[in-house]
């Protein structure tokens, strides 16, 4: 095999860095988007048009690159930094890092931050290009500074509308949005607006979106370890601090994925889980109107927007939820067998179910139900004693068993 190099050249602000123009012109083949043809004709008017190949459809372009690779070097033009949500990773995997040289330019995300004079080292970057925005919405809402690459489906208006559907009306004023259209080009335009304003507008492609949230006051709470007095609840119906800590430890939360909290009560498990794992999609299932009001209030207080409230009774509402990686069953309404069957049937491979049991009947039946579904079962019993000092007043909580089932297949 002959030595060859694939040069991935970043294009920014409608330009190729001058030192790279001669190198691109010497390549046997140029792969580029149709929108870059005028630039190529301007920079290298004598280059044969037949040796310029469209980058879409991508699969065809890659096969064309493979067919010409041994005949000489190839230039691939890409917008911005090809290794930042770009084609660089794909081509390096396909042809080997030794054969791929990346020449980055400024990305559209960098340009947007620069135009706004906003630091970007602490931002979260997400590409929605060719992806469904739904699963990404939790992550978008989980950070105070998020920059998005969009596409024709996931438009700024669609993203703003999705956020409006998820958050409470009182939180809308906490959001500021900026949209950069044709960044670096002659038609560049930057717009700012509220969620409502952006949701009602159309923007030219390509565009990049920056979402800022005002998190003033949210830093007053710990990352983990919210106290019972901080979480809205009534009549003492809340998973106690010590039990909550043990439950979340038993869940072994993944950084991303889906958690079902069935019989969520005040939402304490959902809230703590959502705040710990911002990339996790948390679904709090609860049938009580009183408790649903507490969950909604707590979600707003702690900005746990990656948590979705599911009114209704399990297992009836479970089919509408995405398949879970983790399930916590804190209340079953005497339908434990039905809920376990439904949860086990949807649980992803490597998933885990945790059941908290106060009643002897649940302690006895839950292990058998999980084992009967093919899960490996472990049981832990927790007995908590609280003591004040210096009064030495003792409070003993009801013993609780945590029944854990793992799906290894």
**What percent of the chain is predicted at pLDDT more than 70?**
98
* 3-state DSSP percent of the chain in helix, strand and coil, to 5: 35, 25, 40
Q: pLDDT tens for residues 68-94?
A: 988 889 999 998 999 999 999 999 999
Contact 320, 313 (CB under 8 A): no
* pLDDT score of 1 more than 60: no
Bin 333: left if φ > 0, else alpha if -120 < ψ < 50, else beta: left
User: What pLDDT was estimated at residue 217?
Assistant: 63
Tell me the C-alpha distance between 338 and 331, whole Å.
13
Q: pLDDT tens for residues 312-325?
A: 999 999 999 999 99
Q: What's the whole-number mean pLDDT along residues 401-405?
A: 97
Q: pLDDT tens for residues 95-109?
A: 999 999 999 999 999
Please, what sign has the CA dihedral across residues 116, 118, 119, 121?
A: negative
Six-digit token string for 361: 């009947």
CB count in 10 Å sphere of residue 368: 13
Q: What's the whole-number mean pLDDT along residues 317-340?
A: 95
* pLDDT score of 256 more than 50: yes
Contact 241, 326 (CB under 8 A): no
Please list, in sequence order, all residues whose beta carbon lies within 8 angstroms of the beta carbon of residue 391, skipping any fewer than 6 positions away: none
* pLDDT score of 43 more than 60: yes
* pLDDT score of 367 more than 50: yes
User: What pLDDT was estimated at residue 82?
Assistant: 94
Confidence of residue 227 (pLDDT cuts 50, 70, 90): very high
* pLDDT score of 310 more than 80: yes
User: What pLDDT was estimated at residue 284?
Assistant: 98
Bridge partners, 125 (sequence order): 147
> Which one, of 54, 68, 77, 53, lies nearest residue 4 by Cα?
68
Q: Which of helix, strand or coil describes residue 52?
A: strand
Strand ranges of the sheet holding 124-127, from the earlier edge strand across to the other edge? 124-127, 145-149, 207-213, 175-181, 189-193
Tell me the C-alpha distance between 247 and 241, whole Å.
10
* pLDDT score of 134 more than 80: no
Q: pLDDT tens for residues 158-197?
A: 999 999 998 888 889 999 999 999 998 888 999 999 999 9
Report the residue count for the chain.
409
Q: What's the whole-number mean pLDDT along residues 271-298?
A: 95
Q: What's the whole-number mean pLDDT along residues 12-31?
A: 91
Which H or E run contains 361?
helix 360-372
Q: What's the whole-number mean pLDDT along residues 320-337?
A: 94
Contact 130, 174 (CB under 8 A): no
Q: What's the whole-number mean pLDDT along residues 212-219?
A: 77
Tell me the C-alpha distance between 103 and 27, whole Å.
14
Q: pLDDT tens for residues 200-215?
A: 999 999 999 999 998 7
Helices (H) and strands (E) in the chain, counts: 13, 19
Which domains does the chain carry? 6-105 (3.40.1010.10), 109-213 (3.30.950.10), 223-406 (3.40.50.150)
Confidence of residue 333 (pLDDT cuts 50, 70, 90): confident
Q: Give the phi and the psi of residue 86 in degrees, each rounded to 5.
A: -120, -165
Q: Give the phi and the psi of residue 212 in degrees, each rounded to 5.
A: -115, 135
Tell me the C-alpha distance between 330 and 25, whole Å.
66
Q: What's the whole-number mean pLDDT along residues 356-375?
A: 95
Q: Give the phi and the psi of residue 317 in degrees, each rounded to 5.
A: -90, -5
Q: What's the whole-number mean pLDDT along residues 235-258?
A: 95
Strands 6-11 and 29-32: unpaired
End-to-end CA distance of the chain: 43
User: What pLDDT was estimated at residue 166?
Assistant: 87
């Amino acid at each position: 095999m002959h030595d060859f190099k694939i040069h991935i050249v970043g294009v920014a602000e409608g330009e190729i860095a001058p030192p790279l123009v001669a190198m691109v012109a010497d390549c046997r083949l140029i792969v580029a988007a149709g929108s870059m043809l005028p630039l190529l004709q301007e920079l290298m008017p004598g280059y044969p048009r037949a040796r310029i190949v469209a980058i879409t459809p991508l699969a065809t372009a890659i096969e064309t690159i493979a067919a010409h690779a041994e005949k000489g070097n190839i230039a691939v033009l890409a917008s911005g930094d090809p290794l930042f949500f770009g084609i660089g990773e794909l081509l390096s995997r396909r042809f080997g890092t030794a054969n791929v040289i990346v020449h980055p330019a400024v990305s559209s995300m960098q340009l947007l931050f620069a135009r706004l004079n906003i630091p970007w080292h602490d931002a979260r970057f997400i590409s929605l290009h060719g992806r469904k925005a739904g699963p990404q919405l939790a992550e978008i809402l989980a950070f105070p500074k998020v920059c998005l690459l969009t596409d024709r489906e996931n438009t700024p208006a669609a993203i703003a509308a999705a956020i409006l559907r998820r958050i409470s009306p009182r939180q809308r004023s906490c959001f500021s949005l900026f949209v950069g259209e044709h960044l670096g080009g002659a038609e560049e335009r930057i717009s700012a607006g509220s969620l409502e304003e952006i949701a009602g507008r159309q923007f030219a492609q390509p565009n990049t979106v920056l979402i800022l949230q005002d998190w003033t006051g949210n830093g007053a709470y710990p990352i983990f370890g919210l106290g019972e007095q901080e979480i809205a609840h009534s009549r003492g119906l809340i998973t106690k601090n010590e039990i909550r800590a043990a439950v979340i430890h038993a869940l072994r939360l993944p950084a991303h994925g889906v958690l079902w909290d069935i019989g969520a009560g005040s939402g304490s498990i959902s809230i703590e889980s959502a705040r710990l794992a911002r990339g996790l999609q948390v679904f709090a299932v609860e049938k009580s109107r009183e408790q649903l009001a507490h969950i909604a209030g707590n979600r707003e207080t702690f900005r746990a927007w990656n948590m979705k409230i599911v009114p209704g009774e399990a297992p009836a509402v479970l089919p509408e939820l995405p398949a879970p990686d983790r399930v916590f069953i804190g209340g079953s309404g005497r339908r434990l067998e039905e809920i376990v069957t439904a949860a086990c049937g949807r649980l992803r491979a490597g998933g885990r179910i945790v059941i908290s049991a106060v009643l002897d009947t649940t302690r006895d039946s839950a292990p058998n139900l999980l084992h009967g579904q093919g899960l490996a079962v472990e049981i832990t019993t927790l007995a908590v004693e609280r003591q004040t000092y210096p009064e030495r007043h003792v409070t003993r909580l009801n013993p609780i068993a945590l029944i854990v089932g793992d799906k290894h297949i």
